[in-house]
Chains A and B, each alone.
Chain A
């Protein structure tokens, strides 16, 4: 267990500076740029996750020593700011002076000390204002980074801050609700339909710990798992991860879905077997690969994607030129394996006994729910995320018409962060908007075409429930 706590070469790790995160692969002699700093991770290898490092000259990392704050011995401070005038001249060090200090390789800590000494107003500031001044300067000049282990907490916070568009603005507390409302835990057989870069999938995988199975439904050519790869899951977790194309859902439900598994390809397979299905398979391949090897740094994802695709293009051309039997055989094996996996996923869905359904996509939720709920066993939870409330209103109505679901709940969570300091405690920021909405419920056994709600739910549909709502007993 101790070994797992250490940073190893090849690990997926997350860099943290204040509230800013960045996911990286730990590789030797690989230059990392983070928060306007560049450095190598070589020296971090072997240290425990959570260690804070200082960036030294040459881009090397060095564990930060805990230093006793020995700021100005004579703690002088003003009581208010009635005599502090902003003349823009309070700092005696010029921009060039500071740059010179930095170029000389002076430690950030010392630069901050010099800034304090050269500030004419510092001593007149209140104690709180001095505190704030030092904190601000430290943030700017002290180049420290912490290396942390990836987790749903870290990655969902990182994505929401850096790339909210890629995860449909799903805020981390909303994701937390989904995992709880969906009763996601080890041993489940879960259906996940997401277009959140694989973040929701990763969160579900983390909670299942490699026990049970997941069927990921995907649109287009293949599932996107850029964020999933940032979690650094062991290989075994992927053995129980299946995928099934959304475009085949209707045929699966209608019983017309087929995957004739060809016999296992033989040594002397026929050349030119590229018929109907193959071109589609090929497209799937090109879209799948970049997802599988998704780059850790989400900022360069676009760039990297194009690079990978170009590389594949070259490979593809080369393959065509060669066009030898071995290549065809390889292709056929791949195709056979893919068909086999597809058939397995179809069989798993066909059992219609999934333990839950999680939907978080850019698509309209109603058709997804109406179809995918067919695969879920009775008395199991489902959760749908949508960035907007209106589609969920419709989804709610349609689910009620369809029947087979109870305890439908449309909700939204609000998150408020606090600054807690002696005599300076207050809320930091509200996040009322932009976290998205959830529609959740529980499946029940029902006869098709008959809306099944309980006696009192039937009433509830018509009558406002405000009367019934009791305020929970409050603490204090």
Chain B
């Protein structure tokens, strides 16, 4: 297993995802002799995990079961230990496409943060591309290096511990794309420009506040970036539910009680046959939006160096 290559069976040293249910999962480092506690009981790595196929159902000691999943950047994003606020897959997907990333791309990123985006970037540029990621917080930089090693992607990424606004990305004229997620991106636009290839490339900056965007756009214009475009992407998730709506009782017409306006032979009625149609229900499938959703993550500003 690695985050850039699928494997079929679970091996010692792998990072696997223990899936307990919707939005209930966690990562686990597979190690001989180790046990993992879940609410359904214990999982013994040597017997329950190692050698089993990814996607297997594993029965825990108390009889409940979980699935063991192959790690992907998307599953990692949902389960990683937060050291900072992170970027989620919806933003990551549009960043990846708008930066035109593909195998072989050279990307610069700052800050590394918790490595949510980093894993997705590495996945996309592998096996011939490279990620140069800059994090000014020493402990975070070190933790990221450790994770990349554990996930089998260290050859695809260079973590530098410095201030991108002062010292840049540590490389020049090599990048196809630059991504910024820092509090004052406008201070790093010059460094971003020199990190990009002479023949051009793409840049993206993520900022939660419009004032940050404003200053970043001005800086981009100043440094000759073109195609400056700011957008925002939001995800709407729907729960699939079978809804039953009761038919109201409007009373009976004095003479004619067969014309209720509803077709009693409709399939939705077969589930609940009732003599008195007026007390029946109509069933249908609906995609129900979540009660509370993310309304804003950040603005994404894209531009081209040409």
Contact = CB atoms under 8 A, between A and B. Distances in A.
Contacts of B199: 2, 5, 48-50
Interface stretch (B132-140, B235-243, B271-279): B235-243
A115 to B, nearest CB: 25
A456 B210 contact: no
A411 interface: yes
Interface stretch (A193-201, A299-307, A360-368, A459-467): A459-467
B9 to A, nearest CB: 11
Contacts of A413: 90, 233-236
Interface in B66-112: 66-70, 72-74, 85, 88-90, 92-94, 96-98, 100, 102-104
A420 B230 contact: yes
Contact of A180 (B24, B93, B240, B286): B93
B51 interface: no
Given A49-B200, A207-B102, A418-B299, A455 B126 contact: no
Contact of B214 (A151, A410, A425): A425
Given A379-B69, A418-B231, 20 more contacts: A49-B199, A49-B200, A50-B199, A185-B4, A188-B6, A207-B103, A208-B103, A211-B127, A353-B8, A379-B67, A379-B68, A380-B55, A412-B238, A417-B229, A418-B213, A420-B228, A452-B57, A455-B20, A456-B20, A466-B239
A179 B22 contact: no
Contact of B127 (A49, A187, A444, A453): A187
B200 A454 contact: no
B285 A416 contact: no
Interface in A378-424: 378-381, 389-390, 392-394, 396-397, 406-418, 420, 422
Interface string A199-233: 00000001111110000000000000000000000
Contact of A176 (B74, B97, B104, B294): B97
A471 B229 CA distance: 28
B19 interface: yes
Given A420-B213, A475-B297, A444 B233 contact: no
A24 to B, nearest CB: 19
B247 interface: no
A153 B54 CA distance: 33
Interface of B: 4-6, 8, 19-24, 40, 53-57, 64-70, 72-74, 85, 88-90, 92-94, 96-98, 100, 102-104, 120, 123-124, 126-128, 197, 199-200, 208-210, 213-214, 217-218, 228-241, 285-288, 290-292, 294, 296-299, 301, 304, 306
Given A411-B237, A418-B231, A5 B200 contact: yes
Contacts of B217: 420
A254 interface: no
Contacts of B231: 415-418
A353 B54 CA distance: 12
A162 B158 CA distance: 41
Given A209-B104, A418-B213, A425-B213, A397 B240 contact: yes
B223 to A, nearest CB: 14
Nearest to B100: A151
Contacts of B19: 406-407, 454
A176 B285 contact: no
A100 B5 CA distance: 64
Interface residues of A, number: 85
A213 to B, nearest CB: 13
19 contacts: A5-B199, A187-B4, A187-B6, A209-B103, A211-B127, A389-B238, A393-B285, A407-B22, A417-B230, A444-B67, A445-B53, A445-B56, A454-B21, A457-B21, A460-B21, A469-B290, A474-B294, A475-B297, A475-B298
B212 to A, nearest CB: 9
Contacts of B88: 472
Nearest to B234: A414
Interface of A: 1-2, 5, 48-51, 151-153, 156, 172-173, 175-177, 179-181, 183, 185-188, 206-211, 353, 355, 377-381, 389-390, 392-394, 396-397, 406-418, 420, 422, 425, 427, 442-446, 452-457, 459-460, 464-466, 468-469, 471-476
Contacts of B239: 410, 464-466
Instruction: For the complex of A and B, list the 10 residue pairs with the smallest distance between their C-beta atoms, beginning with the closest.
Output: A378-B55, A209-B103, A456-B21, A50-B306, A379-B55, A180-B93, A475-B208, A379-B54, A466-B291, A176-B97
A208 B104 CA distance: 10
A173 to B, nearest CB: 5
Contacts of A187: 4-6, 126-127
Interface-centre pick from B5, B208, B231 (highest chain A CB count, 10 A): B231
Interface-centre pick from A378, A397, A408 (highest chain B CB count, 10 A): A378
Contacts of A425: 210, 213-214
A50 B296 contact: no
Contacts of A379: 53-55, 67-70
B49 to A, nearest CB: 13
A393 B287 CA distance: 7
Contacts of A381: 72, 74
A464 B104 contact: no
Contacts of A392: 287
Contacts of B102: 206-207, 209
Contacts of A396: 240
Nearest to B78: A407
A68 B94 CA distance: 34
B40 A455 contact: yes
B23 A468 contact: yes
Given A48-B306, A425-B214, A152 B97 contact: yes
A378 B54 contact: yes
Nearest to A459: B21
Contact of B304 (A50, A416, A443, A453): A50
A2 to B, nearest CB: 6
A443 B70 CA distance: 11
Contact of A444 (B57, B85, B94, B306): B57
Nearest to B300: A418
B55 A377 contact: yes
Given A179-B93, A393-B286, A454-B65, A410 B306 contact: no
A132 B294 CA distance: 34
Given A454-B67, A466-B290, A471-B294, A175 B97 contact: yes
A380 B70 CA distance: 8
A464 B103 CA distance: 41
Given A173-B94, A396-B240, A185 B210 contact: no
B236 A412 contact: yes
Contacts of A186: 4, 103, 126-127
A151 B97 CA distance: 9
Contacts of A472: 88, 294, 297
Contact of B89 (A5, A180, A443, A469): A180
